Amino acid sequence: MSVRLMVVDDHRLLAEALASALKLRGHRVLAAAAPSGGAAELVISRAPEVCLLGTATPAEPGVFDPVVRIKREKPQIAVVVLGPVPSPRGIASAFAAGASGYVRHDERIEGVERAMVKARAGEAAVAPQLLQQSFTELLNPATEPDDEGARLLQMLTPREVEVLVRVAEGEDTRLIAAGMGIAPSTARTHVQRVLMKLGVGSRLEAAALAARTGLLDRASGTAAAGRGE
C-alpha cells in the first residue's frame, strides 16, 4: 500500500538513501531534505500523509518542537521519529510532542515501512522491544553515582565548613582563630571535629580529601556566602 511521505533528517545522505529505498518499494516520496530549522515549515507546506523525522539527540530539549508545530497546524500528518536507541525521556518526549511512532536508525527498511503504514492508520508505531527497554529502564533506573563531596559537606556545620576552607588555604590555628574572631582553643576544637567527621588524621589529608571530592569548591562557596562575600 503506497504511502505519500516526506523524509527529513539532519544528515542529507541518510535522508536521500532512505527516500530512494522507499521509492523503490512503491511509495511516493515528496521530498528528502535536511533543513536545520525549517523542518516544520517544509512538512506543513507539502502536507504528506507521513513524515519520517530523523534526529540524533532525542533527549535534547526542544528537539521535537517541529513535531509540536506540525501537529498543531496539520494534525492529519503522522510523524514517525527516526533516531538512536532512546532513553525513556527521549521516547516519552517524542510521543508527548505528538509523534505517532519511533523507529531506530538501524531498523530494516521493512520495519520502517510497517511503522509508516501503522502511523497513517492512526496506530502507535513503535517496536515492542523498544518499549520494553524503555519501560525496564524507567522501572529500574541506573543508580546515580554517589556525590561524596555533597555527602561530606552535609556532615559539617557552617562554622566547620569555614574552618575547612581556612585549613585548605594553609592557615594555622592562630590565623583561623583571628580570622573567625574566636579563641585559639575553640579553633583547635573545630579543626579536630572537622578531621574526625571527614575520617582523616591530619589537616593535609583533610585538604586533599576536600579537593579530590569537590568538597573544597562547594565548601568555599558556602563559606563565602556565610561571610557575606
User: For residues 2 and 84, which has the higher predicted lDDT (pLDDT)?
Assistant: 2
Three-class secondary structure of residue 145 per DSSP: coil
Burial of 105 (0-12, 13-18, 19+ CB in 10 A): middle
User: Is 0.75 topped by the overall pTM?
Assistant: no
For residue range 89-146, list pLDDT tens digits in order: 778 788 889 999 999 888 889 999 999 999 999 998 887 777 676 666 666 655 444 5
- The torsion angle over the Cα atoms of residues 60, 64, 66 and 72, rounded to 10 degrees, is -150
Q: pLDDT-derived band of residue 72, with 50, 70 and 90 as boundaries? A: very high
Extract the C-alpha cell encoding 46.
507539502
Sorted by sequence, the CB contacts under 8 Å of residue 88 that are 6+ apart come out as 134, 135, 137, 138
Question: Of 225, 223, 224, 198, which Cα lies nearest the Cα of 212?
Answer: 198
Cell 563565602 belongs to which residue? 224
User: For residues 219 and 115, which has the higher predicted lDDT (pLDDT)?
Assistant: 115
